[in-house]
């Protein structure tokens, strides 16, 4: 059986005009949208990797929940990965970030963001309505 790699992701959000908005980034191929996600560096904890990916891929910093929001299995042409998902309340949006030439970042309403994500990620975005108080 093929090895399952470990990855971490973050669902970055902010409150604007008493409405929750989610930040998505374009995929590495540039054709779709996703949340910041990537593999763990050697010895890195999943939460720390999620925080790093948010800054590298989306230019976002914030308060990341210590508790895991959830987990899913991601399968692509490179194999299988178990992805730990964390929630981040964004407090700082950078104008320049490591992958700003490779990826676009866009803020979207929950429904719009979920509609652009792969099925495995959609429940985490919809869960924001239950775990975040917009007012």
Provide the annotated active-site residues: 56
Q: How far apart are CA 110 and CA 122, in angstroms?
A: 9
Q: How far apart are CA 59 and CA 61, in angstroms?
A: 7
CA distances from 118 to 15, 33, 38, 76 (A): 23, 8, 15, 12
**Of 31, 6, 2, 50, whose CA–CA distance to 102 is shortest?**
31
Q: How far apart are CA 4 and CA 26, in angstroms?
A: 24
């Amino acid at each position: 059986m093929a090895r399952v790699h470990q990855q971490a992701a973050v669902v970055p959000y902010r409150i604007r005009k008493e409405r929750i908005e989610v930040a998505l980034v374009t995929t590495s191929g540039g054709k779709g949208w996703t949340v910041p996600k990537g593999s763990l560096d050697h010895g890195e904890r999943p939460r720390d990797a999620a925080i790093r990916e948010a800054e590298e891929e989306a230019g976002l910093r914030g308060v990341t929940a210590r508790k895991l929001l959830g987990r899913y299995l991601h399968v692509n042409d490179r194999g299988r990965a178990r992805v730990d998902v964390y929630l981040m309340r964004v407090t700082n949006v950078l104008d320049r970030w490591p992958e700003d030439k490779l990826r676009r970042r866009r803020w979207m309403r929950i429904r719009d963001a979920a509609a652009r994500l792969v099925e495995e990620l959609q429940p985490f975005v919809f869960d924001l309505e239950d775990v975040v108080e917009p007012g």
